[in-house]
Amino acid sequence: MAVSVDTLKLTQVQGVIAIRETGSTPAAGTIALATTLKKASETQSSPVADISSIQWSLDDGAKATITRDSKLLHTLVLAGTLEFYGFSDNENNDADIVVAVTGGSGTVIINCKKISGYGSQQHQGADGALG
């Protein structure tokens, strides 16, 4: 079992996280709202984050599932992209995101929109100033 959870981008309003499975033993990676999506300069209290897009590439025969609070949200096979234009997946958005890969290896990249609970630095204006 060789699963890794890697932060690709982390801002006041967004977190892009890659879950990589390189073994053949079923494994799960967790995007913890309180820690994985929290910048060092932020505080957090009851964090909420939506899923705004998903990209994945899996071995033939592998399957990935995305759950929140034990509720299955997405099942992924082979390779693809889900882009939620103008909306986001807000189902159980106060629960951690668990990505499990079975039957092979692959990568799942989840783009999270930080909604609330990340302190005063969460909202950033168009000029980049924090407010």
Q: Is 126 part of any domain?
A: no
Calpha distance 93→110 (Å, rounded): 13
Domain of residue 36, residue span: 3-116
Residue 84 lies in a domain: yes
37 assigned to some structural domain: yes
Q: Rounded distance, CA 60 to CA 4, Å? A: 20
The CATH number of residue 103's host domain is 2.60.120
Please say whether the dihedral angle defined by the alpha carbons of residues 35, 38, 41 and 42, taken in this order, is positive or negative: negative
Report how many domains make up the chain. 1
Q: For the segment 60-96, what is each residue's pLDDT rounded down to a tens digit?
A: 999 999 999 999 999 999 999 999 988 999 999 999 9
Q: What is the pLDDT of residues 20-65, one digit of tens each?
A: 998 767 779 999 999 999 998 888 899 999 999 999 999 999 999 9
For the four alpha carbons of 20, 4, 68 and 121, in that order, the dihedral sign comes to negative
Strand 3-10, strand 14-21: pairing: antiparallel
**pTM, rounded to two decimals:** 0.89
